[in-house]
Structure 1
Amino acid sequence: MPTDVKIKKGLRLNLKGEATKTFEQAEKSKTIALRPANFYSLVPKMVLKEGAKLKAGDEVFFSKYSDKTRVVSPVSGTLKEVRRGAKRKILDVIIEADETQEYKDFGVMDPLKSDSSEVKERIFSTGLGILLNQRPYNVPANADDTPKAIYISAYNTAPLTGSAEFILKDRVEFFQAGINALTKLTGGIVYLGVDKQSASFLKDIENVEVLNISGPHPAGNVGTLIHETEPMNRGERVWTVNPEDVAIIGEQFKTGKYNAQRTVAVTGTSAKNRLYFKTIAGSEVKSVLKDFEDNSRIISGNVLTGEKVEADGYLNFFANELTVIPEGNEYRMFGWLPFKDNNIHSMSKTSLSWLFPKKKYEVNTNINGEERALVVTGEMEEVMPLDIFPMQLIKACMAGDIEKMESLGIYEVVPEDFALIDYTNTSKIEAQSIIRSGLDIMLTEVG
């Protein structure tokens, strides 16, 4: 029997620039980038040197702190360059892709007929473990842990995001195989969040507990699902997986090949080719983005949590969106006057946009002001469905107070849970960055 997850606090952001639900094969990316920064907290140790030949699935680097946390190549080709920064920190590992792809053969395995230890060994030894994230801290999963539950959200309520249901419609068999493998990693439940209003094939997936999601963003966030089903306490671990990564895991079990296919929805009003492109994780931005307006910002991810990338850069390894919106580098004359710009979305009713909740708006990157003092207004609580005090937690993170962070629920949150606070609060603080710094303190001091 499916469980309903319904929230009332939050915000429905209706923005212009959605991708048309049509698949297109992206231009083949000549090079692929593996960026350690995409695997937060991972300090890489290289396995191969520049010039080495490799197949898709060959190990490229592993974590300094655990050789079971491995990153493998998404393509076959040549390790072209290891880009380093200050103190020889590895920034990018660039792989030049072959014209014809070769795959390392891991062999076929039926997870339902295999022992849990065998499935776990397979996942972490073949580089699939990097697709699993651990809560708390939102870092790569530790192979030595056993999570109390595993969560997958196939309903992203953030604006201008790709539809997981559409992305997975041709990969249902692999998705089911991936679910079967994940059930062997936990003694608890594998939860799958879906849109309650949709007659989705995902509701028929076996070996999961379906969560019917309804409500405004962040209803579809994994953090919301955890909070509503099995809230976390100190010392507990849960793992989370992106829907398309479940299909990657399943395909490797069924075919023996590591196929790091990434479906990227190109969205945003500045992009002219708003479609779903099939490419490879870590591909060049220009392989999917051909035509966009000048003076635009390219974001790998969605408008709330994505990262800025350049046109000659690379996609985030995990992102299913590439969003292009206008740069907000123009001042608004008398922008502080209420009811002057009624075409701008507002939560504070300083424009008449609140009278038209279903209207779609065009946004840019302008934050309409500079950082100001934190004032108790209740704004943050309006968009925070979790049972926490967001402003007090932000202050505790800024102060680095470990005891207060613990008592205020730091283990339950990750930066994306505070994305709407970044968007709505009048103080203009970077709440997501502050929460990330607080999590880093906890990771270092508590572990």
Structure 2
Amino acid sequence: MANIKLKKGFDLILKGQLTSDAITPANASPTYAIMPDDFQGIVPRMDVKEGQSVQAGATIYHDKNHEQIKVTAPVAGVVKEVRRGERRKIEAIIIEPDGSGRQVTHDKTAPVKKLLLESGLWVMMRQRPYDVVPAPDVAPRDIVVTCFDSAPLAPSLMHLLADDVRYVAPGVKALKELTDGNVYLCFRPNEEIDIDDAQVMTVQGPHPAGNAGVQLANIKPVNKGEVVWTLDVLTLARIGKLVKTGVVDFDTVVAVTGEGVSTPRLLKATMGCSILSLLQDDNVHDMRIISGNVLT
């Protein structure tokens, strides 16, 4: 096990930090959205129309340049709206849930690459350089998994992982089939776990120590002509669960934090839920709402 010590950076202390590790169910969201801008490098081509009923895990759109890359629905329901902007750019696909719980089951015996592409989990990984969705026809030199988030107000990823830690090893095994190089797992000290087929690293230092790009630069920088993939440990566990069960887990835990929040908390929700549904218990009408890292 190798240890990386970083000196540059700064841990910004903001008001509204979590005071409890308890995870509670979020309020039901009236709609769920898929935002194509979340998946840089993809030119969307719709596979469904407004008014069409879909299952959770069903293909919503694919990439124009790599048709095998698919983005899937996080919930079962009806496609309520395909929202377009200037020059008919697709800005969001809105799904109204039907509460049926219908979900696509994938063939877990299929090759790992095909399974990730069909399930939609492929688009949750990133390719370096450029931080875009990986091209399926280019094999990565290595794969880097960050197992902590050092950004202000961010929760512990290992705490959010909870019982799904058992899917980390199957996830690593699956990723090893996609590269001839190494799969690196980067932890905070005292949070690391030993996983076969993975190179376990510990990283010390202030933010941005949890940034996959920073970790990569200190492990083995990307040289001209090389490609490396990055993802977080929660995505890794989803991959492991998919190859074990054939089903994608669209559940997620959201940290609702900041000075304007009445009670900072962790909420269990479904990907794509409305942010306002997470803030029903807070008076945030005059507040700026930030989704994601407060520094970006």
Q: TM-score, normalised by structure 1?
A: 0.64
Q: Give the distance between the partners of 2:127 and 2:74, measured in 1 at CA.
A: 22
Quick check: 1:248–1:261 contact (8 Å CA) kept in 2?
no
> Residues 293 and 85 of structure 1: is their aligned pair in 2 closer, same or farther, counting only changes over 3 Å?
closer
Q: Whose helix proportion is higher, 1 or 2?
A: 1
Quick check: 2:108–2:115 contact (8 Å CA) kept in 1?
no
**Aligned pair 1:269/2:259, yes or no?**
yes
Q: Give the distance between the partners of 1:148 and 1:142, measured in 2 at CA.
A: 13
Per the alignment, residue 69 of structure 1 pairs with 69
Per the alignment, residue 181 of structure 2 pairs with 188
The structure having more radius of gyration, on CA atoms, is: 1
How far is 1:239 from its partner? 0.4
Helix, strand or coil at the partner of 1:165: helix
Per the alignment, residue 122 of structure 2 pairs with 129
How far is 1:293 from its partner? 4.5
Q: Which of 147, 166, 171 is matched with 1:178 structurally?
A: 171
Per the alignment, residue 286 of structure 2 pairs with 295
For structure 2, the 5+ residue unaligned runs are none
Per the alignment, residue 246 of structure 2 pairs with 256
Helix, strand or coil at the partner of 2:288: strand
**Aligned pair 1:163/2:156, yes or no?**
yes
Q: Give the distance between the partners of 2:27 and 2:284, measured in 1 at CA.
A: 20
Q: Give the distance between the partners of 1:132 and 1:58, measured in 2 at CA.
A: 19
Helix, strand or coil at the partner of 2:240: helix
Q: Give the distance between the partners of 2:99 and 2:106, measured in 1 at CA.
A: 22
For structure 1, the 5+ residue unaligned runs are 306-447
Q: Which of 225, 236, 247 is matched with 2:215 structurally?
A: 225
| 1:156-189 deviation digits (Å, cap 9, x = unpaired) | 1111112101100121122322222111111111
Per the alignment, residue 13 of structure 2 pairs with 14
Quick check: 1:135–1:239 contact (8 Å CA) kept in 2?
yes
Q: Give the distance between the partners of 2:107 and 2:118, measured in 1 at CA.
A: 13
Q: Give the distance between the partners of 2:213 and 2:46, measured in 1 at CA.
A: 33
> Residues 292 and 211 of structure 1: is their aligned pair in 2 closer, same or farther, counting only changes over 3 Å?
farther
Spell out the pairing of 1:7-406 with structure 2 (5 A cutoff): 7-19=6-18, 20-109=20-109, 118-196=111-189, 198=190, 200=191, 202-290=192-280, 291-305=282-296
Letter in 1 for 2:288: R
Helix, strand or coil at the partner of 1:24: strand
Quick check: 2:107–2:115 contact (8 Å CA) kept in 1?
no
Q: Give the distance between the partners of 1:209 and 1:97, measured in 2 at CA.
A: 41
| 1:70-99 deviation digits (Å, cap 9, x = unpaired) | 101111111111000111110000011121
How far is 1:294 from its partner? 4.7
| 1:223-267 deviation digits (Å, cap 9, x = unpaired) | 111111111111110001122111221222111112211111111
Structure 1 stretches of 4+ moved >6 Å: none
Q: Report percent identity of matched pairs.
A: 38
Letter in 2 for 1:52: Q
Q: Give the distance between the partners of 1:64 and 1:218, measured in 2 at CA.
A: 34
Helix, strand or coil at the partner of 1:173: helix
Letter in 2 for 1:37: D
Quick check: 2:184–2:198 contact (8 Å CA) kept in 1?
yes
Q: Give the distance between the partners of 1:283 and 1:175, measured in 2 at CA.
A: 25
Quick check: 1:168–1:175 contact (8 Å CA) kept in 2?
no
Q: Give the distance between the partners of 1:137 and 1:49, measured in 2 at CA.
A: 31
Q: Give the distance between the partners of 2:147 and 2:5, measured in 1 at CA.
A: 15
How far is 1:216 from its partner? 1.2
Aligned length: 294
Letter in 2 for 1:103: Q
Q: Give the distance between the partners of 2:170 and 2:261, measured in 1 at CA.
A: 35
Quick check: 1:53–1:78 contact (8 Å CA) kept in 2?
yes
Q: Give the distance between the partners of 1:273 and 1:246, measured in 2 at CA.
A: 30
- Report which stretch shifted further, 204-213 or 56-65: 204-213
| 1:115-140 deviation digits (Å, cap 9, x = unpaired) | xxx21122113222111110000000
Helix, strand or coil at the partner of 2:293: coil
Quick check: 1:191–1:208 contact (8 Å CA) kept in 2?
yes
Helix, strand or coil at the partner of 2:114: helix
Helix, strand or coil at the partner of 2:290: strand
Q: Give the distance between the partners of 1:14 and 1:273, measured in 2 at CA.
A: 17
Letter in 1 for 2:106: F
Q: Give the distance between the partners of 1:88 and 1:82, measured in 2 at CA.
A: 10
Quick check: 1:6–1:219 contact (8 Å CA) kept in 2?
no
Helix, strand or coil at the partner of 1:297: coil
Letter in 1 for 2:208: P
Letter in 2 for 1:296: M
Of the two structures, which has the highest relative contact order with CA contacts closer than 8 Å and spacing of 6 or more?
2
